[in-house]
Amino acid sequence: MSVQLDARPPVLPAPTTRSHRLSRFDTRYSPYLYITPFFLLFAVFGAYPLAYTFWVSLHDWDLLGTDHAFVGAENYTRLLADADFWHAVVNTLGIFVISTVPQLLAALWLANLLNRQLRARTGWRMAVLIPNVTSTAAVAIVFGVLFGREFGMVNWLLDLIGIDAVGWKSNRFASWVAISAMVDWRWTGYNALIFLAAMQAIPRDLYESAAIDGASRARQFWSITVPLLKPTIIFAVIISTIGGLQLFTEPRLFHSGTNPIRGGPLRESQTVTMYMFENAFAPHYNFGYGSAVAWLLFALIAIVAAVNVLIIRRLGGQTPGGRAAKGDLR
């Protein structure tokens, strides 16, 4: 809007000149022109594949086959009755919950620490991001070895304190924990930096007046920092939801050996994306069914993201914005 205002000439020149028409065209349409590249790219790489996947999901589509019979919603009806699919959904949600909740809490705590006066502050802030710049594949393989049943370091440590070896890859809950550890190791620092950026935008005087009123550090954190961080927390939750529900690389590489796409002999940690891959590619090569899984996953993410936003809104209290939060203190 402000661009348009600035661009409008202060005095109207003669209405018929060519340059005038050009400039009016410019002011009216160039903003659209500037944002076109994004939408063009999105149309080619986002919207079109999305629509095409939907089209595929309505067919009996063998990946290598040449004729693909139209079957309508059959893939979807079969999928909704498919116990393995729902098993994968539960796995995905389970891993999502036990990875995201501690992760965001830890990130918040870490950001709070980094926001204080520390020596070599930039160094610390950069250090928390290091796990994020390592390759996911490398992380997953290393964790896969750490959590090995017989030769793994985690079981060795447990053995030292007298706990029996855990089948990290063949016990459903244990495998969720192991994969969550991987996800958290990688993403906690990243979220901490996002929270930190938002924390630095909170005016100092709020803390000062709270301190004068006698609020402790913890009280300041919960009554000033967290409420004012709410938009950022919502952002982090949505991004984590999208990522968490599409979790693939970590659980896939956590399992090695024959047919790792199952995520364990009883599909202990098979996520929805892995189930999609199993159906669309090896060993089933049923592209139609795999596409149906992709679309249901899309719906699932939309639902979970919406639920999360509602929950976060509730948790943060009904008060919109910081002024009310500041008022609460008084």
Site of interaction with other proteins (CB under 8 A): 45-46, 48-50, 52-53, 56, 62-66, 136, 141, 144-145, 148-151, 167, 169-170, 187, 190, 239-240, 242-244, 246-249, 255-260, 262, 265-266, 273, 276, 279-287, 289-291, 294, 298
In the complex with other proteins, the residue whose CB is nearer, 31 or 148, is 148
What are the beta bridge partners of residue 60? 69
Write phi, then psi, for 182 (nearest 5 degrees).
Answer: -60, -50
Q: Which is nearer to other proteins, 146 or 206 (CB)?
A: 146
Q: Which residue's CB is nearer to other proteins, number 221 or number 289? A: 289
Q: Which helix (H) or strand (E) holds 60?
A: strand 59-60
Angle formed at CA 129 by CA 145 and CA 146, multiple of 5 degrees: 10
Residue 86 tokens read as 């729902």
Residue 166 CA neighbour count, 13 Å, CB half: 19
Phi, then psi, of 40 in degrees rounded to 5:
-65, -50
Min CB(126)–other proteins separation in Å: 19
- Residue with Cβ nearer other proteins (66 or 318): 66
Shortest Å, Cβ 167 to other proteins? 7
Residue 281 CB, shortest distance to other proteins, in Å, is: 4
Note whether 13 and 20 are within 8 A (CB): yes
Question: By the 8 A CB rule, do 13 and 255 touch?
Answer: no
Q: How far is the CB of 35 from other proteins (least distance, A)?
A: 19
To other proteins, the closest distance from the beta carbon of 245 in angstroms equals: 8
Tokens of 145: 């070895």
Nearer to other proteins, 260 or 322 (CB): 260
Toward other proteins, which CB reaches closer, 46 or 321? 46
Q: How far separated are the first and last CA of the chain, in Å rounded? A: 39
Contact 234, 312 (CB under 8 A): yes
Least distance CB 286 / other proteins (angstroms): 6
Pairing of strands 59-60, 69-70: antiparallel
